[in-house]
Amino acid sequence: VVNSRMGDAVSPRLREVMSVLVRHLHAAVKEIEPTHEEWLTAIRFLTETGQMCSDWRQEYILLSDVLGVSMLVDAINHRRPSAATPNTILGPFYVENAPHYENGANICLDGKGEPMVISGIVTDVHGKPIPGATLDVWQTNNDGFYDVQQKGIQPDYNLRGVFSAGADGGYWFKSVKPRHYPIPDDGPVGKLLGQLGRHPNRAAHLHFIVSAPGYEPVITHIFTPDCPYLREDTVFGVKQELVADFDSINDAARAGELGTTAPFWNVQWNFVLADK
Ligand code: DHB
Ligand code: FE
């Protein structure tokens, strides 16, 4: 017999979810045999995690990220054809309505870091270019912070931009080589990592959302090949297929043509979108 409080519709899905959760939770508690004090520590941790949340900081998402749950949920919900660019974690620092730039623009507004030029094409899974595809890009500055973490310190929209692929599906822009950086570690999740002997660092990356009408948008990264955290990204976001080559080009004439300085990092990266 299923009894429901007046007004609350019984949810079969929630009953299923809770039944699985309770089964696994009980198994964990039986294995751990926590003391009453340890149980209270867990309650306090969850309370502090909730108290840390605000409209610009979601500590539970950080928790989900460092436990590998976010990548798992993502993998379950975004099974993509193998020819398409793999997706990875969105992270908390995406901002809608970044400035739209012409191809070739420099998104680094604070002048810090090692110059980088990135170019490529956006195609479908058969290699056909997708003219006009939208590329939304964001990354930290050379000190390892997103603009939104340093309002008033960094220029607004530093290292963010939206580009449109040309008639041949091609795009290119200038920026700086990304560096590794810690996820926000001044809250309960940072403290947990510390107590576990885990570092808070993400492998150096650029974020992209690439989209076009009629195609599945992809939320993805490009990783640098030489980052010390490539094999131990704190949120488990690295996929080997997303590690790019960064070629150092020490050619002042070429740099001048591209509007940058030598030496610069050259990155060639194509995106492949799956059909809707
Ligand atoms: C990113 C940052 C985070 O703090 C996180 O938990 C996941 C991803 C990021 O910007 O890449
Ligand atoms: Fe990031």
**Token reading at 100:** 């739209």
Q: What band does 98 get if pLDDT is binned at 50, 70 and 90?
A: very high
What per-residue confidence (pLDDT) applies to 57? Answer: 83
Cα 93 to averaged position of ligand 2 atoms, centre (Å) = 7
**Mean pLDDT, residues 191-210:** 98
Asked if pLDDT for residue 122 goes beyond 70, the answer is yes
Element (H, E) at 36: helix 36-51
pLDDT exceeds 70 at position 1: no
Instruction: Note the pLDDT of residue 129.
Output: 98
- What does the buried/exposed string (b/e) look like for 107-136 if buried means 16 or more CB atoms within 10 Å of the residue's CB? bbbbeebbbbbbbbbbbbbeeebbeebbbb
Residue-averaged pLDDT of the chain: 95
62 lines ligand 1 (CB under 6 A): yes
Q: How would you label 244-270 residue by residue, b for 16+ Cβ within 10 Å and e otherwise? A: bebeebeeeeebeebebeeebbbbebe
The pLDDT assigned to 50 comes to 96
Ligand 1 binding pocket includes 189 (Cβ within 6 Å): no
With pLDDT > 70 as the criterion, what percentage of the chain qualifies?
99
Q: What is the pLDDT of residues 210-263, one digit of tens each?
A: 999 999 999 999 999 999 999 999 999 999 999 999 999 999 999 999 999 999
**The complex's ipTM?**
0.94
Task: Please state the separation of Cα 90 from the chain's center in Å.
Answer: 4
| Amino acid 21: pLDDT | 98
Give me ligand 2 centre to Cα 255, in Å. Answer: 27
Alpha-carbon distance of 162 to 173, in angstroms, equals 10
Cβ contacts of 122 within 8 Å, gap of 6 or more: 129, 130, 133, 135, 165, 169, 171, 210, 212, 270, 271, 272, 273
* 246 in contact with ligand 1, CB cutoff 6 A: no
Ligand 1 atom with the shortest distance to the CA of 184? 4
Confidence class for position 60, pLDDT limits 50, 70, 90: very high
Q: Strand 170-176 to strand 205-211: parallel, antiparallel, or no bridges (unpaired)? A: unpaired
Atom number of ligand 1 nearest to Cα 146: 10
As given in the structure block, the two tokens for residue 92 are 């908390």
- Atom of ligand 1 lying closest to residue 61 CA: 6
pLDDT in tens, 145-162: 999 999 999 999 999 999
Q: Whose CA is nearest to atom 6 of ligand 1?
A: 62
Pocket lining: 65 vs ligand 1, CB cutoff 6 Å? yes
| C-alpha 109 to ligand 2 mean position (Å) | 18
| pLDDT at residue 53 is higher than 90 | no
